[in-house]
Chains A and B, each alone.
Chain A
Amino acid sequence: MSKGKMREEEIRRIIRADDEWEPVGPTPMPNLTDLRNWDFRLLDTYEPFYAPFCDLCCLCTYGKCDLTGDKKGACGIDIAAQQARWILICSLMGTAAHGAHGRHMIEHLIEKFGEDFKIDLGSQVNVEAPIIRTVMGLKPENLGDLRKAIEYVEREMIHLVSATHMGQEGSYRDFESKAFHAGMLDHVALEAADIAQIVGYGLPTSIADTALVDLGWGAIDVKKPTIVVVGHNAVTANAIVDYLRQHDLYDKVEVAGLCCTALDMTRYDSGAKVIGPLSRQRFFLKAGLADVVVTDEQCVVTDIPQMASEAGAAMIACSDKICYGLQEASAMAADDILKAVLEEQKQFLILDSEKAAEVIVRAALALAPTRQERKKIMTQEEAALVSAKCRGTCEACNRACPNLLPVNVAINQARQGDFAKLGSVFLRCIGCAKCEEACVNDIPIQKVMQAAAASDTYKIRAGRGPIHDVEIRKVGSPIVLGTIPGVVLFAGCSNFPGDIDDVAWLAEELARRKYIVTLSGCAAMAASMRKDEDGKTIYEKYIPEFDAGCIVNVGSCVSNAHVVGAAIKIANIFATLPNRANFELMADYILNRVGACGVVWGPYSQKALSIGTGAVRWGIPVVLGPHGSKYRRLFMSKKEASDWNVIDGRTKQVVNTEEPTPEHMMLVTETKERALVTIIKQCFRRNDTPPGRAIKLNSYISAYKQVIGGLPDDLQNFVRTEKEIPIVYKREVIAYLKEVGWKPKTVLSLPTLIGTYETKVPIEATIK
Chain B
Amino acid sequence: MYAADVGPQYEGERIRKSDFHVEFGGPDVSHKGELVTVKGLDEVEHDKIIVTGPDIKDLPEGSSNRIFIKVDVAGEVLEKDLEAVLERRVHQYINYIEGVFHMAQRYDIWIRIHKNAFKKGLNSLEEIGRILIDLFTAELPVIEKMSIEFVTDPAKVEELLAEAIKVYKERDAKVKGLREEDVEEFYGCVLCQSFAPTHVCVITPERISLCGAINWFDGRAATKVDPEGAQFAIPKGNLVDEEGIGYDTVNQVVTERSMGETTQFSLHSALSFPHTSCGCFEAIVFYIPEVDGFGIVSRDFVGSTVIGDPFSTLAGMASGGKQNEGYLGIGVQYLLSPKFLIADGGYSRVAWMTSTLKELASEEVPEDLLAKIATEKDVQNVDELTEFMQNAGRL
* 0/1 interface trace, chain B 179-205, chain A, CB 8 Å (1 if under): 000000000000111111110000000
Of A158-166, A193-201, A299-307, A727-735, which binds chain B? A727-735
Q: Which of B9, B139, B320 contacts A512 (CB 8 A)?
A: B9
Q: Which of B211, B300, B302, B312 has the most CB of A within 10 A?
A: B312
Is A498 interfacial (CB 8 A cutoff)? no
What residues on A are CB-neighbors of B138 within 8 Å?
A: 727-728, 730-731
Q: Smallest CB-CB separation from B192: which chain A residue? A: A477
| Contact between A698 and B8, CB atoms less than 8 A apart | yes
Q: Which of A481, A549, A750 contacts B197 (CB 8 A)?
A: A750
Is B319 interfacial (CB 8 A cutoff)? yes
Q: Which of A126, A476, A687 contacts B313 (CB 8 A)?
A: A126
| Contact between B194 and A474, CB atoms less than 8 A apart | no
Is B303 interfacial (CB 8 A cutoff)? yes
Least Cβ–Cβ distance between B29 and chain A, in angstroms: 27
Is B366 interfacial (CB 8 A cutoff)? no
| Contact between B139 and A476, CB atoms less than 8 A apart | no
| Contact between A477 and B304, CB atoms less than 8 A apart | no
Q: For residues 654 through 707 of chain A, which have their beta carbon under 8 Å from a beta carbon of chain B?
A: 687, 689-690, 695, 698-699, 702
Is B12 interfacial (CB 8 A cutoff)? yes
Is B96 interfacial (CB 8 A cutoff)? yes
What residues on B are CB-neighbors of A767 within 8 Å?
A: 197-198
* 0/1 interface trace, chain B 103-136, chain A, CB 8 Å (1 if under): 0000000000000000000000000000000010
What residues on A are CB-neighbors of B315 within 8 Å?
A: 473, 573
Interface size on A, residues (CB 8 A): 39
Tell whether A749 pairs with B259 under 8 Å between CB atoms, given A124-B302, A727-B139: no
Is B60 interfacial (CB 8 A cutoff)? no
Q: Smallest CB-CB separation from A649: which chain B residue? A: B197
A379 CA to B139 CA, complexed, in Å? 61
| Contact between A575 and B230, CB atoms less than 8 A apart | no
| Contact between A575 and B279, CB atoms less than 8 A apart | yes
| Contact between A514 and B9, CB atoms less than 8 A apart | yes
Least Cβ–Cβ distance between A90 and chain B, in angstroms: 36
Is A469 interfacial (CB 8 A cutoff)? yes
Q: A123-B302, A481-B192 are in contact. List 8 more A-B contacts (CB 8 A).
A: A123-B304, A477-B278, A514-B11, A574-B195, A575-B279, A593-B195, A698-B7, A750-B194
Is A146 interfacial (CB 8 A cutoff)? no
Ranked nearest first, the 4 interchain pairs of A and B with the lowest CB-CB distance are A477-B280, A575-B195, A576-B320, A469-B312
| Contact between A689 and B230, CB atoms less than 8 A apart | yes
Is B393 interfacial (CB 8 A cutoff)? no
| 22 A-B pairs (CB sep. < 8 Å) | A124-B312, A126-B312, A470-B311, A473-B299, A481-B194, A512-B9, A512-B12, A549-B12, A574-B195, A574-B279, A575-B279, A575-B320, A576-B196, A576-B279, A650-B259, A689-B194, A690-B229, A698-B8, A723-B228, A727-B135, A727-B138, A750-B197
The interface residues of chain A, by DSSP majority, are classed as helix
Is A112 interfacial (CB 8 A cutoff)? no
| Contact between B279 and A473, CB atoms less than 8 A apart | yes
Q: Which of B96, B191, B226, B259 contacts A728 (CB 8 A)?
A: B96
What residues on A are CB-neighbors of B135 within 8 Å?
A: 727-728
What residues on B are CB-neighbors of A573 within 8 Å?
A: 312, 315-316
Is B6 interfacial (CB 8 A cutoff)? yes
Interface size on B, residues (CB 8 A): 41
What residues on B are CB-neighbors of A477 within 8 Å?
A: 192, 195, 211, 278-280
A476 CA to B319 CA, complexed, in Å? 12
Q: Smallest CB-CB separation from A594: which chain B residue? A: B195
A699 CA to B8 CA, complexed, in Å? 8
| Contact between A576 and B197, CB atoms less than 8 A apart | no
Least Cβ–Cβ distance between B120 and chain A, in angstroms: 15
Is A480 interfacial (CB 8 A cutoff)? yes
| Contact between B319 and A749, CB atoms less than 8 A apart | no
Least Cβ–Cβ distance between A263 and chain B, in angstroms: 26
Is B237 interfacial (CB 8 A cutoff)? no
Tell whether A723 pairs with B195 under 8 Å between CB atoms, given A474-B299, A702-B9, A728-B7: no
Least Cβ–Cβ distance between A32 and chain B, in angstroms: 32
Is A726 interfacial (CB 8 A cutoff)? yes
* 0/1 interface trace, chain B 299-324, chain A, CB 8 Å (1 if under): 11011100000111101100110000
| Contact between B194 and A749, CB atoms less than 8 A apart | yes
A469 CA to B302 CA, complexed, in Å? 11
Is A36 interfacial (CB 8 A cutoff)? no
Is A7 interfacial (CB 8 A cutoff)? no
A767 CA to B280 CA, complexed, in Å? 18
What residues on A are CB-neighbors of B229 within 8 Å?
A: 690, 723
Is A13 interfacial (CB 8 A cutoff)? no
| Contact between A749 and B312, CB atoms less than 8 A apart | no
Is A273 interfacial (CB 8 A cutoff)? no
Q: For residues 130 through 148 of chain B, which have their beta carbon under 8 Å from a beta carbon of chain A?
A: 135, 138-139
Is A768 interfacial (CB 8 A cutoff)? yes
What residues on B are CB-neighbors of A730 within 8 Å?
A: 138-139
